[in-house]
Chain A
């Protein structure tokens, strides 16, 4: 195997370990937004679509690259927007007069 490939493999393995470490600490309440957020990150495959589009030089490749580009862009844009919509709901809400004071204080501490 070439040195570049070995380097890539090392990056791959380390990134997996980072993923485990970063993600295992997320509370269950945020699992859906997290899944959606992770879902948008794999939209990075759009960059792969850009690369094959640039290298394309025959009709078949044009079509494949175009479809890949559409798919990837939908994944990226849609993924981030829907995740943001979900997370918007976790922001601080207006103080409700009937909740105990302690809870309101806890809510108020959250930045917007």
Chain B
């Protein structure tokens, strides 16, 4: 085959890979085809990677004349085995509750890879006539976006894992530091563009130093961007960073002139963008608002985590069990507390016991319950909760009026009536589940500690509410035993 034929075939294979990504994503629209969609997407990835490897081995490829040497081959194979092995190991052993931070971690390394590709390409072309204005722009964009994603996603992952405190972290001069790093990045871009434009004259070494400064500034920017954001907003941030990585991959695609990188990167950039907007909408907050400051950064610290001024009614396991057992309609409201206690199986078991008694049980899933959009659905699906019993917020809110008992398990801010009634509240305007409309309410919660928004929940002082102080799993297990004895 002539070199031209090979190049054409390789291009077509890349195109097929990119098409598989689009088709795969499209099939993830419905639970019925989602898994197949992911497999098709993985198949596309395999085609793209294997084709590239074979192409690099052919003697006439333009990247490595004479065919990729043993060192390049070693880097590719050993790198794949090590990286793929680590990824496989982590993906296999992670608990479903810890999945958001793992996705964030994979996102970090993806962004890091994009930045490294851009940087390495720049090292190869700097000081040569190959360096053009457009290549400088794409290198800097790829390096900046990739680096921001790398450090930002690591911090987000650390916050979710509890290595970095989940509360918004603000130190004096954060804003200034953010502004300075942004300035360095923009100024650096300007300098690196002016060189190939012929306006400025710098040695290759000096240009590399400028690029290094830009990367360091971007890494710091990623950290200072995520640190002040509270844990409750992490889903939005991860989604945004996911979008960034896609964009960084597309920029890397421009740098190495590869169509499959450009297409896939742009696809993911758009995906993350849409998801981010959906998430922000669900919390009734603008993206700018989320990024500028975390939930309640102002006066969160004010006021001890006490019960406020109202009276809190505590309820015992037996009383709660009787209420549940003799109810006609029960709605379970699961939240992050359920996820951290790994209580998804216990809640399903309780629902089974109640259904045996003829109680109608459904689940109210708030869009931001858990730590990522749709996270709660995944957890409940893991516990074999039938899909039709999972109700989304708009669907279930009218049903609370006809509900005997709302069982709130580890959910807090998404049930706080202050979001509807108190314009002073930081969560005012956020769509919530109308738990307070049901005839009685049982809240399983470890303590009166406020949720991520750091505000008191007046639901707990509502006369209709009984507080069952327990870890989500222990509380549910106790309830199961108690209901069985009723």
- B-binding residues in A (CB < 8 A): 1, 4-5, 8, 11-13, 15-20, 22-56, 60-62, 64-91, 93, 96, 98-99, 103, 106-107, 109-111
A32 touches B113 (CB 8 A): no
A35 touches B87 (CB 8 A): no
B76 touches A5 (CB 8 A): no
Q: Give the distance to chain A from B185, nearest Cβ to Cβ, in Å.
A: 20
- List which B1-43 residues lie within 8 A (CB) of chain A: 17-18, 21-22, 24-26, 28-35, 37-39, 41-42
B22 touches A76 (CB 8 A): no
Whether B165 is near chain A, meaning CB under 8 Å from some CB there, is no
Pick from A28, A52, A66: contact of B256, CB under 8 Å = A52
- Docked CA distance A72–B269 (Å): 17
A/B interface sample: 21 pairs, CB < 8 A: A5-B134, A16-B269, A20-B270, A20-B273, A25-B29, A31-B278, A31-B374, A32-B100, A36-B103, A41-B267, A44-B260, A47-B49, A49-B79, A53-B68, A64-B123, A66-B79, A77-B83, A78-B91, A81-B87, A82-B103, A109-B32
- List which B340-372 residues lie within 8 A (CB) of chain A: 352, 355-356, 365, 367, 372
Chain B facing A: main interface SS: helix
B261 touches A45 (CB 8 A): yes
- Docked CA distance A62–B257 (Å): 20
Interface size class of B (residues with CB under 8 A): 35 or more
A74 touches B37 (CB 8 A): no
User: Chain B residues near A111 (CB, 8 Å)?
Assistant: 32-33
User: Chain B residues near A54 (CB, 8 Å)?
Assistant: 56, 61, 63-64, 68, 72, 76
Pick from A31, A82, A88: contact of B91, CB under 8 Å = A82
Across chains A and B, which 9 residue pairs bring their CB atoms closest together, nearest first? A19-B270, A78-B87, A69-B79, A73-B83, A31-B373, A15-B266, A31-B374, A70-B83, A81-B91
User: Chain A residues near B63 (CB, 8 Å)?
Assistant: 51, 54-55
Whether B311 is near chain A, meaning CB under 8 Å from some CB there, is no
- Docked CA distance A86–B97 (Å): 11
User: Chain B residues near A61 (CB, 8 Å)?
Assistant: 120, 123-124
**Assuming the A-B contacts A12-B262, A30-B28, A68-B120, are A40 and B113 also in contact, with contact meaning beta carbons closer than 8 angstroms in the complex?**
no
Closest to A94 in B: B384
User: Chain A residues near B367 (CB, 8 Å)?
Assistant: 28
Closest to B117 in A: A48
| Among B187-195, B226-234, B302-310, B385-393, the stretch in contact with A | B385-393
A28 touches B116 (CB 8 A): no
Closest to A4 in B: B257
- Docked CA distance A100–B442 (Å): 26
User: Chain B residues near A11 (CB, 8 Å)?
Assistant: 259, 262-263, 266
User: Chain B residues near A81 (CB, 8 Å)?
Assistant: 87-88, 91-92
Q: Give the distance to chain B from A37, nearest Cβ to Cβ, in Å.
A: 5
Whether B245 is near chain A, meaning CB under 8 Å from some CB there, is yes
Closest to B265 in A: A42
User: Chain B residues near A19 (CB, 8 Å)?
Assistant: 25, 266-271, 273-274
B34 touches A38 (CB 8 A): no
Given contacts A11-B263, A28-B374, A30-B31, 14 further A-B contacts (CB under 8 A): A15-B267, A19-B268, A28-B278, A30-B29, A35-B272, A44-B249, A44-B265, A48-B252, A51-B63, A53-B72, A65-B72, A79-B91, A86-B378, A90-B35
A82 touches B45 (CB 8 A): no
User: Chain B residues near A72 (CB, 8 Å)?
Assistant: 83, 109-110, 113
User: Chain B residues near A83 (CB, 8 Å)?
Assistant: 38
- Docked CA distance A1–B31 (Å): 44
User: Chain B residues near A28 (CB, 8 Å)?
Assistant: 278, 367, 373-374, 377, 392
Closest to B358 in A: A98
Q: Give the distance to chain A from B438, nearest Cβ to Cβ, in Å.
A: 22
User: Chain B residues near A74 (CB, 8 Å)?
Assistant: 83-84, 86-87, 90, 106, 109
B25 touches A22 (CB 8 A): yes
